[in-house]
Amino acid sequence: RLVNGAGGRLLIGGDLVQVSGIGRSGRGATVAVGPSSPSMTAATAVQEGAMPVVARLDQLPFRERAFDTIATGNAFERLDNDAEGARELARVVRHGGRAVLSGVNRDDALLIRARVLRGLGGVHHPKDAFLHSNDHIREYSWRELERLLVPAFRILRRHPVGWNRGWKSAIASSLVRRAPARRFSSAMVLEAEPR
């Protein structure tokens, strides 16, 4: 939703496993940068009318300032060098362009609840047992994701994402849209521009 109507050249970045979504650029080229799976990238690109490019987000094959808008989903959780990935994304966005950068929240209220319940039951798990995905190298809190992005991007807006599991989740989702409770959202979306 944040990317629709962005206009110009649009880069959609997935992560190293999947392309997370495609928006419309309105004019110019739409490029889907996907994961290590060329067939998945190509299928997503064709479905959305984009040009498929298989590349790592920390080694993009594009010239500087090539795109007006970029959007990523879980782009940093699987990168060995997440800071390089952030710099590389900022490098390909024109000055005044937009970046919509998202990731899952390490401090997700449901994950915290699971940790507490497991601990109360006397079952102890390694730290990585409560990641959103078993192929994540790391996950971020809001503060950690912003700290990662600030050297390369100026944060414009923060959009917390809630849950979609029934009426209790609907209430919790409305609560995490408020600043103090945002910390416990399911996912984080940051709207930014390159420095």
Please write the tens of the pLDDT for every residue from 178-187.
878 888 988 8
Q: What pLDDT score was predicted for residue 35?
A: 52
Residue 31 exposed, middle or buried by CB count within 10 Å (0-12, 13-18, 19+): buried
**What's the rounded Cα separation, in Å, for the pair 126 and 43?**
37
**What's the rounded Cα separation, in Å, for the pair 104 and 61?**
26
Q: What pLDDT score was predicted for residue 109?
A: 86
Bridge partners of 51? 31
Structural domains of the chain sorted by starting position, each given as residue range(s) with its CATH number in brackets = 10-194 (3.40.50.150)
Tokens found for residue 124: 């102890």
DSSP code of residue 157:
E
Tokens found for residue 107: 């401090």
Q: Which residues of the chain have pLDDT under 70?
A: 1-52, 119, 121-137
Q: What pLDDT score was predicted for residue 20?
A: 32
Which helix (H) or strand (E) element contains residue 97?
A: strand 93-104
Please write the tens of the pLDDT for every residue from 47-76.
666 666 777 777 888 889 888 888 887 778
The amino acid occupying position 140 is: Y
Q: What pLDDT score was predicted for residue 15?
A: 39
Helices 82-91 & 142-149 angle (0-180, nearest 10): 50
